[in-house]
Amino acid sequence: MCAGRAHAAPFAESAGWLEPAERVMTSGFSLKGFWASALAAVTGLVGASSVWADTVGQPTDRGIALQPAASQIRLDVISFHNNILLPVITGIVLLVLVLLIVVVVKFNKRSNPTPARWSHNTPVEVAWTVLPVLILMFVAIFSFRLLYEEHDMPKPYMTVKVVGRQWNWDYAYPDQKISAYTSTLMTEADAKTNNVPYQLASNAPLVAPVNQVVRVQVTAEDVIHSFSVPAFGVKIDAIPGRLNQTWFKANRTGTFYGQCSQLCGINHSYMPIEVKVVTQPEFDAWVASKAPKPPVSVATAATTPPAPASAPAAAQ
Ligand SMILES: [Cu+2]
């Protein structure tokens, strides 16, 4: 993935490095540091300092943790991963590892020259069937809760219509009467000039107000794409002939990047998604700058000088 470089956003809000206290708050999970440090220690590939070197809204060079959250849904996704999935999978891996070590040490040819000849053990077979079912049911409780939370959209403040095509996105704001504009990849030279991440920055971002529910209706023109913004916990397929819907409510201003997340063709990696979350006054100003100009009034038209007589009339 692209390196996480700090960048200068056109809007005043910066999406730079977080202070340590804010990082913990953003993750919403006190054990995140423990797991991240443990993973770093086990792999030995990444120092604990770089684990924390997260840049909000975009991937981080050498990062191994999930992208920090900019919405409640994303916080809950991170919490589900860190508090439920990670302990469960760690427990399973350790259990299997211990069983393997026991088998290797205790039942090798030297330590156990005369192996037992029995087979089938009903209690053990029941246990290894029931235990995974119980584990899956435990995971399902939290998984379904999260799915319902994602599905239950509060009353939206506005709707953005997103159309994916090979290889760019169209954004339209029917509530604000802003017709569709195309958002495409920013060139490498422009990205360098503006100090924004190449292949994540776009020439025309999706703009949304902070702390407002934004309904996102997604479809596609040609093949299946996927609209995904990790910091909001949003990912939904853009399918030709079908209108999908998701929503987000950003809890902080800044620039948040995503990418098309369905393999859609040769330039799949060149259709980034850039969302600028701004304050309400900044959003209103942006809407005013994009909204269609009012038609010329009759009074204004009357002040314009009359057109000269047409050529046939002058000839008479
Ligand atoms: Cu695509």
| Domains of the chain with CATH codes | 20-51 (no CATH), 72-110+123-151 (no CATH), 158-290 (2.60.40.420)
User: The tokens of 92 are what?
Assistant: 């399973």
Q: How far is the CA of 68 from the centre of ligand 1 (A)?
A: 24
> Helix, strand, coil: what percent of the chain each, to 5?
40, 20, 40
Q: How far is the CA of 262 from the centre of ligand 1 (A)?
A: 6
Q: How far is the CA of 26 from the centre of ligand 1 (A)?
A: 29
CB-based burial of residue 201 (10 Å sphere; 0-12 exposed, 13-18 middle, 19+ buried)? buried
Q: How far is the CA of 2 from the centre of ligand 1 (A)?
A: 18
CB-based burial of residue 292 (10 Å sphere; 0-12 exposed, 13-18 middle, 19+ buried)? exposed
Q: How far is the CA of 268 from the centre of ligand 1 (A)?
A: 5
Q: How far is the CA of 223 from the centre of ligand 1 (A)?
A: 8
Sign of CA dihedral 47, 49, 52, 56: negative
Write phi, then psi, for 66 (nearest 5 degrees).
Answer: -70, 155
Which residue in this structure is represented by tokens 């995503």? 258
Write phi, then psi, for 101 (nearest 5 degrees).
Answer: -65, -40
pLDDT in tens, the chain (316 residues): 333 333 433 333 333 333 333 333 334 344 454 455 454 444 443 333 343 334 688 888 888 888 899 999 999 999 999 999 999 999 999 999 999 999 999 999 999 999 989 899 999 999 999 999 999 999 999 999 999 999 999 999 999 999 999 999 999 999 999 999 999 999 999 999 999 999 999 999 999 999 999 999 999 999 999 999 999 999 999 999 999 999 999 999 999 999 999 999 999 999 999 999 999 999 999 999 987 776 666 555 445 444 444 444 433 3
Q: How far is the CA of 226 from the centre of ligand 1 (A)?
A: 6
Q: How far is the CA of 144 from the centre of ligand 1 (A)?
A: 28
Number of C-beta neighbours around residue 124 at 10 A = 9
Q: How far is the CA of 119 from the centre of ligand 1 (A)?
A: 53
Question: 23 to each of 27, 71, 76, how far by Cα in Å?
Answer: 6, 14, 15
Q: How far is the CA of 212 from the centre of ligand 1 (A)?
A: 27
